[in-house]
Amino acid sequence: MSNALKLDAVSKTYNRGKPNALKVLDGASLTLEAGEVVALVAPSGAGKSTLLHIAGLLDSCDGGQVSIGGTDMTGLSDARRTAARREEIGFIYQFHHLLPEFSAIENVVLPQLANAVPEHAAREHAMQLLARVGVDHRANNRPAQLSGGEQQRVAFCRAMANKPRVLLADEPTGNLDPATSDKVFEALMELVRETGLSALIATHNLELAARMDRIVRLENGQLA
């Protein structure tokens, strides 16, 4: 079976060729096997977000290769990258980034409609996801009417809505108080395990990191 995500000697320099050039990634390599959940641990400013954005095809690298499901994504056109991102990748940020004018369920339905799923099927699947993380009773509320933990649970459902191959998360519980963070993280892990997804989850929290299959550290632009 091909691996879910492979980063091969990825490098990235901001402001290349300028006096303030900053080399953030310098040959970072990582293989995420199907179903594997890996913690990405690094001090702030080390380049975690940069790495996740490159892995999620939101940003490009200057050197190296990013493959998803065995397909090299590095040289794709913008249109193909956008399609690959929509079909293969789920992204969770520290802040939920839900659409404020739409209800919780609509936030989970919309990405499916963009992927040509019929509306009734999209709603049914959205409701199943919301129920699995315990927020189905809030389905018709807008994000502003939900607690921080509930908002983040809905954001997990949105990220999973199109059954991606890879889930990328940037401090997914970093905005929550410790007790809520623990519960919400548990819900995320259950959802990931149930769906058999591969995940790369950045966290500062070593206790949460220890609950994943493996920890990789980002240091001096490389992964170990």
Residues that bind ligand ADP (CB under 6 A): 14-15, 22, 24, 42, 44-50
In the complex with ligand ADP, the residue whose CB is nearer, 108 or 199, is 199
Q: Residue 61 CB, nearest distance to ligand ADP (Å)? A: 12
Contact between 148 and 176 (Cβ < 8 Å)? yes
User: How far apart (Å, rounded) are the C-alpha atoms in residues 64 and 7?
Assistant: 8
CB atoms within 10 A of CB 44: 8
Q: Residue 25 CB, nearest distance to ligand ADP (Å)? A: 9
Q: Residue 59 CB, nearest distance to ligand ADP (Å)? A: 8
In the complex with ligand ADP, the residue whose CB is nearer, 48 or 138, is 48
Q: Residue 172 CB, nearest distance to ligand ADP (Å)? A: 13
In the complex with ligand ADP, the residue whose CB is nearer, 24 or 57, is 24
What string of H, E and C letters represents the secondary structure of the chain? CCCCEEEEEEEEEECCCCCCCEEEEEEEEEEECCCCEEEEECCCCCCHHHHHHHHCCCCCCCEEEEEECCEECCCCCHHHHHHHHHHHEEEECCCCCCCCCCCHHHHHHHHHHHCCCCHHHHHHHHHHHHHHCCCHHHCCCCHHHCCHHHHHHHHHHHHHCCCCCEEEEECCCCCCCHHHHHHHHHHHHHHHHHHCCEEEEECCCHHHHCCCCEEEEEECCEEC
Q: Residue 28 CB, nearest distance to ligand ADP (Å)? A: 11
In the complex with ligand ADP, the residue whose CB is nearer, 22 or 224, is 22
In the complex with ligand ADP, the residue whose CB is nearer, 22 or 99, is 22
Q: Residue 51 CB, nearest distance to ligand ADP (Å)? A: 7
In the complex with ligand ADP, the residue whose CB is nearer, 4 or 218, is 218
